Amino acid sequence: MKRKRTKKKVEPEKQRSEHEPDPKDYGQPEGNYTTNRAAYDVWLESEDRERSSEAFRQWNDERSKAILAVVFKPASDRLQSRYERLAQTEVAAA
């Protein structure tokens, strides 16, 4: 008898962190440019574009930190503990 594969449930915050920021996060007006031209003209000014790029930078930094914590942190912890053990044995031998 074959087992059915079940999909692994992804928590909403983890799922959300893998996508780019929602346009609403950086103030994009409702509708589209043709229906809401005045609001979009204000939004497209340089200050608003800087806010949108800041939101993307923040999302990218958080994503990079999460990846580094999962991939590289355990390895760096092992190296540090190995270094500390070597230092202790050298001190004990001296």
- What is the value of pTM for the model shown? 0.33
Q: What pLDDT does residue 2 have?
A: 66
On whether residue 16 sits in a domain, the answer given is no
Indicate whether 88 belongs to any domain. Answer: yes
Q: Above pLDDT 70, what percent of the chain?
A: 63
Q: Is residue 67 part of a domain?
A: yes
One-letter identity of residue 47: E
Please indicate, yes or no, if residue 86 is contained in any of the structural domains.
yes
pLDDT digits over 28-58, tens only?
Answer: 777 777 888 888 777 777 555 666 678 888 8
- Number of domain units in the chain: 1
- Between residues 83 and 25, which one has the greater pLDDT? 83
Closest by alpha carbon to 23, among 6, 4, 44, 8?
A: 44
Residue 78 domain flag: yes
Q: Quick check: 66 and 17 in contact, CB under 8 A?
A: yes
Confirm whether 4 is domain-assigned: no
Contact 55, 21 (CB under 8 A): yes
Domain that holds residue 40: 27-93
Is 81 inside a domain boundary?
yes
